[in-house]
């Protein structure tokens, strides 16, 4: 069993959870486990051909899997996995950053996107 940390933009698809327990011997297995637990997250991580989308950065410990063996990187017991958002913009708002008394001050609706 491995702990996978979920970044704020993807927590809408994990029921708000910042960490999910996944199992598997390789990165791909753990992500398959994640998408079977939370199917709505799948199109955000994989393209139509089932490949990991090019901007998805998954870290095993301190290393990006792009610098290891990609989705075939083996997972050891106790490894910590972390999905990292792009470095600028687009983060789901931290609750303490929202103006007091205001919810989602945006041109679109969160709820349509399944953010609830």
Q: How far is the CB of 75 from other proteins (least distance, A)?
A: 19
Q: Which C-beta is closer to other proteins: that of 77 or that of 108?
A: 108
Local structure of 4: helix, strand or coil: strand
Q: Which C-beta is closer to other proteins: that of 43 or that of 74?
A: 43
Q: Which C-beta is closer to other proteins: that of 25 or that of 98?
A: 98
Dihedrals φ, ψ of 7, to 5°? Answer: -75, 160
Where along the sequence are the contacts to other proteins (CB under 8 A)?
5-10, 12, 18, 44, 47, 53-57, 66, 82, 84-94, 96-98, 104-110, 113, 115
Q: How far is the CB of 92 from other proteins (least distance, A)?
A: 5
Q: What is the DSSP string of 11-29?
A: GGGTTT-SEEEE--SBHHH
Joined tokens for residue 49: 């051909």
Q: How far is the CB of 33 from other proteins (least distance, A)?
A: 19
CA angle, 69 as apex, 51 and 11 as ends, to 5°?
A: 55
Q: Which C-beta is closer to other proteins: that of 25 or that of 86?
A: 86
Local structure of 94: helix, strand or coil: coil
Residues 72, 69: Cα–Cα separation, whole Å: 5
Q: How far is the CB of 15 from other proteins (least distance, A)?
A: 15
């Amino acid at each position: 069993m491995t702990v996978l940390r979920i970044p704020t933009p993807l927590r809408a698809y994990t029921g708000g959870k910042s960490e999910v327990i996944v199992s598997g011997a390789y990165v791909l297995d753990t992500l398959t486990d994640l998408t079977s637990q939370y199917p709505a997250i799948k199109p955000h991580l994989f393209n139509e051909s089932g490949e990991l989308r090019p901007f998805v950065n998954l870290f095993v410990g301190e290393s990006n899997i792009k610098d290891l063996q990609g989705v075939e990187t083996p997972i050891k017991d106790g490894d910590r996995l972390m999905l990292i958002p792009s470095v600028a913009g687009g983060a789901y708002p931290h609750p303490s950053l929202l103006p007091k008394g205001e919810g989602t001050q945006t041109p679109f609706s969160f709820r349509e996107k399944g953010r609830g």
